[in-house]
Structure 1
Amino acid sequence: MRTMQFTVKLKSWTQAVAAVVLVSVLAACGGGGDSGSSSGSSSSTALNGGSLPASPTQQPIAATAANTVPITVGVGVKGVINIPTVSVTVCPPGSTTNCQTIDNIQVDTGSFGLRVVSSKLTSVLGALPAVTVAGVPLAECATFADGYTWGSVRTADVTIGSETAGSIPMQIIGDMAASTVPAGCTGVAENTASDLGANGILGIGTAPYDCGVTCANASTAVNNSNYFACPGGTSCSTRSAVPLAQQVANPVAHFATDNNGVIVQMPPIGDTGSPSATGTLVFGIDTRSNNAMAAAQSFTTDPWGNLSNSVFNGTTVRAFLDSGSNGYFFADSSLTLCGGSYVGFYCPSSAQTRSISLVGLNGTKTTANIGILSAATLFGNGNNYAFNDLAAQNSGSFDLGLPFFYGRHVYYGIDQTASGGQQAPYVAF
């Protein structure tokens, strides 16, 4: 769904909103993965003579330790399918009493930094200090595939589970008037919970900051910075160079401990979906007994988590594993596209399997097999919000979205080279 790499738009997910709005929002809450079919038709009927690859079967660990927090997929705030969410606590720097916990924050391994809708910060917003450069307040246009979020940058203590990132910059979504949006911030505004399908975005991918050196260096920031100087909080026309310390930060990279990465663990679900799914977000890799590296393969990536030498259908593509995308997104002219309410999704007449060769910068290679069922079949049951075989059309990249995560433990090693560390960014499963 939401990968932000400078100001480049990479992929789309919002077609699902239109589709799901047509079906019932009476989804079950809580629970885990459903090992069988949840739709009105049997699994064999849904396959319609086709076949799907064997589903992975890893189960999440219990979210009971200090470095864990539950992930929930369900009806959420808008009835958008495949939106994994956690709860996040925001406090003014140094405060332990004036704090607020916000639920339904989307877990997005394809972006970097915390962004919360302003209307959800009912008690603490006014106490969060503005981030400034040369004494001028900053706002950010965070550009994603499906639109942008616009709002001020402020400092907060951010707690997830029992882990805290002290005094880090975060984006407040939608706290500034539409008239302040600069000309360089284009696309569809997503400045409310209804627009986002969540109360905010928790970007916990491989980068420690959301823009990095591109926004820190004046020569590149002048045309590419996500940040705008806002004198008086109203005139925000000029892109600004922003030092790393003032950029919206990946909270995990700034925890006191367990700060070298995350593990996203989702349960297996049935071929035709499940009303809900409950997984676990684990902080740190090889820092405790419950987060040992146990992946079968590990791929070093570029700073943003891309596997740019991957191969699909004989063509080199940029691939990435992104919990913030609610489907698989890739281009395949041999797959039938849906019509009607499901335009953009694939609707093959029978179940399909596709394979992509994932290739890391370290030379690690593996073949990932994905299953695809007709979106019309999957959306035919309005009670299901978790799907492991939903796919849609997208050119230019191969996005292994949340369907890929069900039944897997997916690891993200955060880039530590910029701060003098040895760990290069990587993904593993």
Structure 2
Amino acid sequence: MRTMQSGVKLKGWVKGVVVVALVSLVAACGGGGGDSSSNNSSAAPNSGSLPASPTQQPIAATAANTVPITVGRGVKGVINIPTVSVKVCAPGSTTNCQIIDNIQVDTGSFGLRVVGSVLNPALLGALPNVTSGTQLAECATFADGYTWGTVRTATVAIGGETTTAGIPVQIIGDLAATSVPKGCGSGVAENTANDLGANGILGIGTAPNDCGATCVTTVHNNYFACSGGTSCGPTAVPLNQQVANPVASFPVDKNGVIVQMPPLPDTGAPSATGTLVFGIGTQSNNALPTTVQTFTTDTYGDLNNSVYNGTTVQAFLDSGSNAYFFGDSSLTQCGSNYANFYCPSSAQTRSINLVGLNKASTTASIGILSAATLFGNSSNYAFNDLAGQIGGNSSFDLGLPFFYGRHIYYGLDQTANGGQAPYVAF
């Protein structure tokens, strides 16, 4: 989540090791309005051609089950970081609360994680520790690094939605760096807002919690029991103590979310404003249209039978990735200034066949411009045709660029209670 310092977030331990990078444009002036809904032409600034851009607009974030999504300079000037504001309260309290801005919207992970240093001491001290014999902590591993901190209970509100009770959340960086146990993640620690590029991560993908049955029955290097907050060993954790997707605990609008982002010009924009809608088919503003194609997925939202360049790949639609990330030796990579991004000499179009477990399939075309060209305008933070290398040919990450001009639906996995199978739709 940081330029030259951090990689894009995937699904923690669910994903294999990949090598990707995010770019931070730390410019003197980085924001401002700008028209992010015009100039969606197929002509590219460095010749070649791009596919036609999708043109859906987000609905107004005025209903109780909505909240605005903002892409802009944010905490550290990291490009393509969609953020919302989240209200965290001590369980049972309506006064000991805090609204935290710049929480990244991540459909590729599950559960709320908040940097401990941005919380008021009175609130932080009132969030009960989740215990598994001793204090429970988590090492959440992402593509380039990890977050380390305690698991605590908090009531979470987003827009007009509030969890029915306290849920487990991760407090990032509230344990000493010396307490990080052997086997915790890889890469660099992302335990401050500066390192993370945001004040936290809101994981609202298809899974109701961040590890599931795997961590109930088997010990992994995800959850740790910490004696005195210092001596930490891996432990199995029941579902009700795992960091939880807040949406699953909303009273009514709990079966999924819709991420709606505006169209962008091909060369990017200083900012973009979208809408996060809670619930699917539960209110008048969140119906699933018959024109939308639905793809059932595994628990974690993956489309494991997709095909790119004749190779079966694991594809996923991940708002927490700031670019398209996939392997393609025909695309020129950038130099060290923008390592791991693609810098083709002309505009490029690539297509992937997305296939759901329900056999639904479609061909999705994406546009790619040179990262060096895009980053030439240091005041832009929103891009719809940025791509980079994922470090292999087995995965295809449809990151935030894919979301611009689309409404993308995520149906939560409710099969444990006899309900719907997880799905994505657009």
TM-score, normalization by structure 2: 0.94
Secondary structure in 2 matching 1:107: strand
Matched, 1:102 2:100: yes
Match of 1:115, SS state, is strand
- Give yes or no for contact 1:89–1:100 (8 Å, CA) kept in 2: yes
Aligned to 2:23: 16
SS for the counterpart of 1:87 is strand
2:143 aligns with 145
Q: Distance between the aligned counterparts of 2:223 and 2:94, measured in 1?
A: 30
Corresponding residue for residue 230 of structure 1: 226
Q: Paired residue for 1:209?
A: 209
Q: Does 1:4 align with 2:11?
A: yes
User: Structure 1 residue 398 and structure 2 residue 396: aligned?
Assistant: yes
Aligned partner of 2:30 in structure 1 is 27
Q: CA deviation at 1:44?
A: 4.9
The answer to whether the 8 Å contact 2:42/2:52 transfers is: no
More displaced, 392-401 or 108-117?
392-401
Is the contact made by 1:335 and 1:347 (CA closer than 8 Å) also made in structure 2? yes
For 1:125 and 1:29, the matched residues in 2 are separated by 33
Structure 1 pair 262–11 and aligned structure 2 pair: CA distance change class (3 A): farther
Q: 2:3 maps to which residue? A: none
How far apart are the structure 2 equivalents of 1:6 and 1:382? 34
How far the C-alpha of 1:27 sits from its partner, in A, is: 1.8
The 5 Å alignment of 1:66-215 reads: 66-122=64-120, 123-134=122-133, 136-165=134-163, 166-187=165-186, 188-215=188-215
Residue 293 of structure 2 is matched in structure 1 by: 297
The one of 298, 314, 317 equivalent to 2:313 is 317
Whether the 8 Å contact between 2:22 and 2:78 is mirrored in structure 1 is: no
Return the TM-score normalized by structure 1: 0.93
Match of 2:234 in 1: 239
Which whole-Å CA distance do the structure 2 matches of 1:104 and 1:11 have between them? 26
From the superposition, tell whether residues 31 and 159 of structure 1 become closer, same or farther in structure 2 (CA, over 3 Å): farther
Match for residue 258 of structure 2? 263
Aligned partners of 2:377 and 2:104: how far apart in 1? 23
Which residue of 2 is the match for residue 272 of structure 1? 267
Please tell me the residue identity of whatever aligns with 1:139: A
Q: CA deviation at 1:231?
A: 1.2
SS in 1 for 2:114: strand
Q: Which residue of 1 aligns with 2:278?
A: 283
Aligned partners of 1:228 and 1:341: how far apart in 2?
38
Structure 2 counterpart SS, 1:80: coil
Tell me, in whole angstroms, the C-alpha distance in 2 between the residues paired with 1:30 and 1:200: 24
Structure 1 pair 398–45 and aligned structure 2 pair: CA distance change class (3 A): closer
Letter in 1 for 2:215: C
Contact conserved, 1:329 with 1:400, CA < 8 A, in 2?
Answer: yes
Within 5 Å, give how 1:308-347 maps onto structure 2.
308-347=304-343
**Take 1:305 and 1:16, find their aligned partners in 2: how far apart are those partners?**
26
Alignment correspondent of 1:428? 425
Displacement of 1:323 after TM fit? 0.1
Partner amino acid, structure 1, of 2:317 = L
Change (3 A) 1:399 1:176: same
Q: 1:323 to 1:25 in 2, by over 3 A?
A: farther
Alignment RMSD: 1.5
Q: What amino acid sits opposite 1:366 in the alignment?
A: T
**Secondary structure of residue in 2 paired with 1:46:** coil
Determine the structure 1 residue equivalent to 2:5: none
Work out whether residues 7 and 143 of structure 1, in 8 Å CA contact, stay in contact via their aligned partners in 2. no
**What's the CA shift for 1:32?**
6.2
Shift of 1:234: 1.2
Q: Secondary structure at the match of 1:278?
A: strand
Q: What is the letter of the counterpart of residue 84 of structure 1?
A: P
Q: Distance in 2 between matches of 1:266 and 1:47?
A: 25
Equivalent position SS for 2:231:
coil
Structure 2 CA distance, aligned partners of 1:310 and 1:370?
15
TM-superposed CA distance for 1:13, in Å, is 4.5
Gaps of 5+ in 1: none
What is the alpha-carbon distance in structure 2 between the residues aligned to residue 8 and residue 319 of structure 1? 12
Instruction: Return the alpha-carbon distance in structure 2 between the equivalents of residues 189 and 66 of structure 1.
Output: 36
SS of aligned partner of 1:230: strand
Worse-superposed segment, 225-234 or 51-60: 225-234
> CA–CA distance in 2 between the matches of 1:83 and 1:257?
28
Q: Give the 3 Å change call, closer, same or farther, for CA 414–95 of structure 1 in structure 2.
A: same
Counterpart contact for 1:173–1:191, Cα < 8 Å: yes
Cα separation, 2, equivalents of 1:121 and 1:7: 29
- What is the CA distance between 1:228 and its match in structure 2? 0.2
Conservation of the 8 A alpha-carbon contact between 1:109 and 1:203: yes
Counterpart code for 2:326: F
Q: Does 1:349 align with 2:345?
A: yes
1:146 CA displacement: 1.4
Amino acid at match of 2:339: V
Cα pair distance change 1:170/1:29, threshold 3 Å: farther
Asked if the contact 2:262/2:406 (under 8 Å) is kept, the reply is yes
Identity %: 72
Structure 2 residues not aligned, in runs of 5+: 1-7
Counterpart in 2 of 1:410? 408
Aligned length: 413
3-state SS of the aligned residue for 1:216? helix
Paired residues of 1:111 and 1:205 also in contact (CA < 8 A)? yes
* Partner Cα separation in structure 2 for residue 128 and residue 241 of structure 1: 22
Compute the displacement of 1:30 (Å). Answer: 5.3
1:268 to partner: Cα distance: 0.2
The change in CA–CA distance for 1:270 and 1:325 in structure 2 (over 3 A counts) is same
Deviation (angstroms), 1:233: 1.3
C-alpha distance in 1, partners of 2:33/2:19? 27
1:258 Cα deviation after fit? 0.2
The CA distance in 1 between the partners of 2:33 and 2:124, in whole Å, is 30
Contact 1:225-1:241 within 8 A present in 2 as well: no
CA 1:197/1:12 → structure 2, altered by over 3 Å: closer, same or farther? Answer: farther
